Chain A
């Protein structure tokens, strides 16, 4: 990017939890109204709505696809609407679409909502969805693959290649949960952070993954209001400015994905996003990483050159990524700490990026946070979208 293009100026969120009796539209109302209010604009200022596609919820996805949000919320100034689906990378694409709306002059303010209510989806449907999402129906699924299973295989290989111990892997969960316990929007807010021993003594789901190293499916929702960087600066409101971006596509399926392509992609996309932002990795105050399961975190940390090969496990174990540590990391605790809301974890992570840069992160606030690196990733790890955000617009 030649210059900063967009900024997040308003955020709204419901705590991640279990709301089987709460309607999805109730959550959409709450989060969207909060985001618009937080942005300090009028509802009729919203000229575009670009929604994160809810996963495994075909009815609400269809309703949103066919334009119900602006009508429901009475967004009288809305000029256009669409929905983006790239799994866990959906929110990144919503931001890109919003950027296009804004740069083309179609919209001044764009609303980006997300909602997921897993708890009202019948369990067999949910299990079935996650057994097939990003899993090939011909070459993987008939063998009894699950999300946990394919990640477990990646984890075993990573541990083998890097020499990372089970204790070090469990310490990633400890780190994520240390942030989550400070997050009022986390399903684990205020809950005891499990020790390495407790994690390793939880039941084995798919070796080497223990129960506490897997995600808890949860309900939640969030919304953001974005505008041009220029408008955000003129408004003088707290904002998160998008400074840089780069991306890599790997493959749709884990079977056909080489570890080398992933680590190279992590490295190159990160390097390019930082260069785009004209920020060095040393200047990054928060590494807001979203890779859903523990194994992605050390893989990324090593690939991005933030520690030596095979050292990442020790970085987590020694507490450098914890609140107060020298490398604040995944400050909502990723999906492990926040609770997995499908495509919503990427939304929650962007909201956290904005919250930190706006200085609204409460007990998790990293002092004087100026630059945040954030990534998203979709499917079963099909891609890696690296972004860099700043507290201020580029000079």
Chain B
């Protein structure tokens, strides 16, 4: 995420001492030896008497909160991963006021006049920002030596499910095998903005690390699955580089995160699934929709084309003559049944049977071994990507051979070697269960 690097302070020759000291864990205050003034922001000459006889005194690091704000939204992308964060102005005992952040505490515990103490947060190899934590240790979330360090160049975005704003991320199901990621901007019909793109990438990468999860359900809150890019993004597309980055950074990252997620990603489509929303769906492995869902790609109505994989994945999902109609027509009223007939969807459910039918599908697939689902996804992805049949068969053969000799399968087989009949009986039982569930 190098494009989201945090800004470092733009220094002046007379402020370098301050930042050197901050990197060493000291908060310095500029001091005028001529008139005794403590100065902030540091200046070239004393703003009170214009003396250049300036030096530094070390602050005791104690301060009181003058005011603060919990930042929740509408910040630059480079700070989005920090949300929510607490901006504050604090009054140091040395009589100066700083803008800073309050860290290492619950925002609800912060109050005006609360005593705070300085700590330092590394933001780059050269810079550490003075930030403040509650002086009262009982209000701190972590002891200082446990606090997260270094948010520098290779730091992650800071996104976590707890601070997602545009999606919901929940794991559950039997044995924790299902993760549900819900596009959660129902008032905007789950339109995709930059924040949502970042959060989706984070969520789909995060879920890869959970070994119990075999299935990820991608769905939308409210009346729509997703209606595509948020109009708030559109003005930025007037600029060539921004437009390319929206496609090549956010767009490609999201597609890769979904398609490359090692879980089986199941799209649950209700309401409208349009433009970029349909492209999110196209990156999924299975797609189930309600009869009342409406799908389409509308980009051509603006004189452009689907840019998050639509022109690549639609022709790979159905006969090309049908895919072309979807792209060229700009229709947004394709019914789920029409799309199914054209070859796109896995299955269409009557609206009133959607939840139960979908739950049964998920339950069944989630009951399979995650490692088998992962291998299946990988093997079939290579196959549909257009390699020759012999290569596809080799990938399949070797993939299955690997699975067969995977340690947990071998542990089961150990029991069956002694009793081949038991293997047959167990297999039959599993087959029947899958039929009933699915």
Which A residues contact B (CB, under 8 angstroms)?
20, 118-128, 131, 136-146, 148-150, 152-154, 156-157, 160, 203-209, 211, 214, 253-256
Known contacts A139-B41, A143-B87, A144-B87; decide if A122 and B76 are in contact (CB<8 Å): no
Establish whether residues A146 and B67, one from each chain, have CB atoms under 8 Å apart when the complex forms.
no
Establish whether residues B87 and A145, one from each chain, have CB atoms under 8 Å apart when the complex forms.
yes
- Closest chain A residue to B101, Cβ basis: A143
Q: How many residues of B contact A (CB 8 A)?
A: 45
Establish whether residues A20 and B72, one from each chain, have CB atoms under 8 Å apart when the complex forms.
no
Establish whether residues B67 and A153, one from each chain, have CB atoms under 8 Å apart when the complex forms.
yes
Of A123, A143, A203, which contacts B73 at CB under 8 A? A203
Query: Which B242-270 residues have a C-beta within 8 angstroms of A?
Result: 242
Which A residues are in CB contact (< 8 Å) with B292?
Answer: none
The 8 closest A-B pairs by CB, nearest first: A152-B69, A122-B239, A123-B236, A157-B67, A144-B79, A137-B10, A207-B70, A138-B9
| Sampled A-B contacts (15; CB under 8 Å) | A122-B239, A123-B233, A124-B77, A139-B41, A141-B7, A144-B71, A144-B87, A145-B99, A153-B87, A205-B72, A205-B74, A207-B72, A209-B69, A255-B41, A256-B40
The yes or no answer to B333 lying at the interface (CB within 8 A) is: no
**Chain B: interface secondary structure?**
mixed
Which B residues are in CB contact (< 8 Å) with A124?
Answer: 76-77, 236, 242
Given A204-B72, A207-B72, A254-B89, 17 further pairs, Cβ under 8 A: A123-B235, A137-B9, A138-B10, A139-B99, A142-B8, A143-B129, A144-B82, A144-B101, A146-B74, A149-B69, A156-B69, A160-B67, A206-B69, A206-B70, A253-B41, A255-B41, A256-B97
* Complex CA distance for A210 and B231, rounded to whole angstroms: 21
Known contacts A145-B99, A160-B67; decide if A214 and B74 are in contact (CB<8 Å): yes
The yes or no answer to B100 lying at the interface (CB within 8 A) is: yes
The yes or no answer to B366 lying at the interface (CB within 8 A) is: no
* Complex CA distance for A124 and B246, rounded to whole angstroms: 11
- Closest chain A residue to B87, Cβ basis: A149
CB distance from B22 to the nearest CB of A (A): 11
The yes or no answer to B123 lying at the interface (CB within 8 A) is: yes
Of B76, B77, B97, B235, which contacts A119 at CB under 8 A? B235
CB distance from A106 to the nearest CB of B (A): 37
* Complex CA distance for A156 and B114, rounded to whole angstroms: 14
* Complex CA distance for A393 and B121, rounded to whole angstroms: 60
Establish whether residues B6 and A142, one from each chain, have CB atoms under 8 Å apart when the complex forms.
yes
Which B residues are in CB contact (< 8 Å) with A146?
Answer: 71, 74-76
Establish whether residues B73 and A205, one from each chain, have CB atoms under 8 Å apart when the complex forms.
yes
Which B residues are in CB contact (< 8 Å) with A131?
Answer: 75-76
- Closest chain A residue to B82, Cβ basis: A144
* Complex CA distance for A193 and B284, rounded to whole angstroms: 43
Establish whether residues B41 and A156, one from each chain, have CB atoms under 8 Å apart when the complex forms.
no
Write out, one digit per residue, whether chain B residues 123-157 have a CB within 8 A of any chain A CB (1) or not (0).
Answer: 10001010100000000000000000000000000
Of A137, A144, A204, A253, which contacts B76 at CB under 8 A? A144
Of A122, A139, A205, A208, which contacts B9 at CB under 8 A? A139
* Complex CA distance for A255 and B90, rounded to whole angstroms: 9
Which B residues are in CB contact (< 8 Å) with A208?
Answer: 69
The yes or no answer to B66 lying at the interface (CB within 8 A) is: yes
Which B residues are in CB contact (< 8 Å) with A127?
Answer: 74, 76-77
CB distance from B59 to the nearest CB of A (A): 14
CB distance from B9 to the nearest CB of A (A): 4
Which B residues are in CB contact (< 8 Å) with A154?
Answer: 67
Establish whether residues A149 and B71, one from each chain, have CB atoms under 8 Å apart when the complex forms.
yes
The yes or no answer to B53 lying at the interface (CB within 8 A) is: no
Known contacts A136-B41, A156-B68, A208-B69; decide if A142 and B236 are in contact (CB<8 Å): no
Which B residues are in CB contact (< 8 Å) with A126?
Answer: 235
The yes or no answer to B12 lying at the interface (CB within 8 A) is: yes
Establish whether residues A121 and B235, one from each chain, have CB atoms under 8 Å apart when the complex forms.
yes
CB distance from B396 to the nearest CB of A (A): 45
The yes or no answer to B85 lying at the interface (CB within 8 A) is: yes
CB distance from A341 to the nearest CB of B (A): 15
Which B residues are in CB contact (< 8 Å) with A136?
Answer: 41
* Complex CA distance for A204 and B72, rounded to whole angstroms: 6
CB distance from A262 to the nearest CB of B (A): 14
* Complex CA distance for A123 and B77, rounded to whole angstroms: 11
Of A138, A139, A206, A255, which contacts B72 at CB under 8 A? A206
CB distance from A58 to the nearest CB of B (A): 13
CB distance from B3 to the nearest CB of A (A): 10
CB distance from A283 to the nearest CB of B (A): 36
CB distance from A149 to the nearest CB of B (A): 5
CB distance from B166 to the nearest CB of A (A): 11
* Complex CA distance for A260 and B95, rounded to whole angstroms: 16
